[in-house]
Amino acid sequence: MTRPFNFAPGPATLPLEVLQQAANEMLDWRGTGMGVMEMSHRSKEFISIAEQAEADLREILSIPSNYKVLFMQGGAIAENAVLPMNLSRGARVDYAITGSWSQKSAKEARKYADVHVVASNESDHHTTLPAYGSWQLSDNAAYVHVCSNETVHGVEMHELPDLAALGSNAPLVMDCSSHIASRTIDWSRVGMAYGGAQKNIGPAGMTMVIVREDLIGHAMAITPSAFDYKVVADNGSMYNTPPTYAWYIAGLVFQWIKQQRETTPQGELTGLAAIEARNVAKAALLYGYLDESGFYTNPVAVNARSRMNVPFFLPSDDLNDAFLAGAKAHNLLQLKGHKIVGGMRASIYNAMPLAGVQALVSYMKDFAVSHG
Ligand SMILES: *Cc1c(COP(=O)(O)O)cnc(C)c1O
């Protein structure tokens, strides 16, 4: 059987090599007589898996040593509450609204802190990125929250705001669920980054929190201990039983990222640089075709188009069912758009090869010819 190309927004496709390795190790991890799911999180075997995964993530993303890497649960939606509990001290916090995910984050944070909206693209139907210079930043915010890639609306920040240059001394906090490990991160601009694993780094059930040490240790008294960043950090993410299997799979994905090679006009790239170059090429191919097709459209401003999540529309919604049925017959799965945007959406995360995007574009061309 040929493996179909799966464009799901999350949980999403994983690298075939990772799934094969996990399958081979399912019943017996390296001669221990146990699968990873069956191991104590405090066993030396699992500790070695956990430490290697963290070390690999630190290496891939060049995470500075004064940042903690926490392996938590609850997803980014739980973080919408956990973050203000940990970092706001109940005071003023700034939120930029760039799509449905940041909107959700701001709404939840209002339960715990004084939320101030610094900018919003709502009047543009979340298809633009408000110019950073126009943001109405507070003088005294505990942090400034952004969603650096809006999974539903397909809006990505290709350069993070430099808050210090904009006159704010608050740390930037970003929900990077759907593009974590797809590109480098400029940590000099970031106080905390968080995201669920199920888009780009593994199965659902694990949340990554990467937080600068000096920001933690001031959680509200109501914060559940299992969600207090300081408690989690002091216990090596093992205050409660962590999502061990998801942690292990993420570790395999990090190894896979490190092994990637890509030959480009700039020479041979490896690891995250190879992944990023491939993501740029995949996005260029798909957006390039959408723009020249005269049939399909993408509504997002060019400077804000996501490399990971590409919403697009057919000339009429009456064609949607035929498009999806034909796609499935061509082994192209899960292209239906999110219900609040409609149309189609191709999520082209790290694990989607260029061949998958080529197959999608080829199908789209044929469909446009036969329905144009
Ligand atoms: C998927 C996603 C979420 C929601 O994640 P959960 O795991 O369901 O909590 C939040 N933010 C962004 C940007 C996402 O892509």
Instruction: Give the amino acid at 327.
Output: A
Q: Can 101 be counted among the known catalytic residues?
A: yes
**Which fold would CATH assign to domain 5-15+260-371?**
Aspartate Aminotransferase, domain 1 (3.90.1150)
Q: Can 199 be counted among the known catalytic residues?
A: yes
172-195 as b/e, with b when 16 or more CB fall inside 10 Å? bbbbbbbbbbbbebebebbbbbbb
Alpha carbon of 1 to ligand 1 centroid (Å): 32
Q: Which of 29, 68, 199, 230 is catalytic?
A: 199
- pLDDT of 202 reads 97
133-147 as b/e, with b when 16 or more CB fall inside 10 Å? eebebbeebbbbbbb
Alpha carbon of 309 to ligand 1 centroid (Å): 13
**Contacts made by residues 289-296, CB under 8 angstroms, sequence distance 24+:** 289/361, 289/364, 289/365, 293/364, 293/365, 293/368, 294/372, 295/368, 295/371, 295/372, 296/364, 296/368
User: What size, in residues, is the chain?
Assistant: 372
pTM for the whole structure: 0.97
> Taking the domains of the chain in order of start, what are their residue ranges?
5-15+260-371, 17-256
Residue range 17-256 in CATH 3.40.50.10330:
no
Alpha carbon of 162 to ligand 1 centroid (Å): 24
Low-confidence ranges of the chain (pLDDT < 70): 1
301 — phi, psi (to 5°)?
-55, 140
- pLDDT of 1 reads 63
Q: Which of 29, 68, 101, 336 is catalytic?
A: 101
Closest CA to ligand 1's atom 7: 75
Q: Which of 175, 228, 247, 282 is catalytic?
A: 175
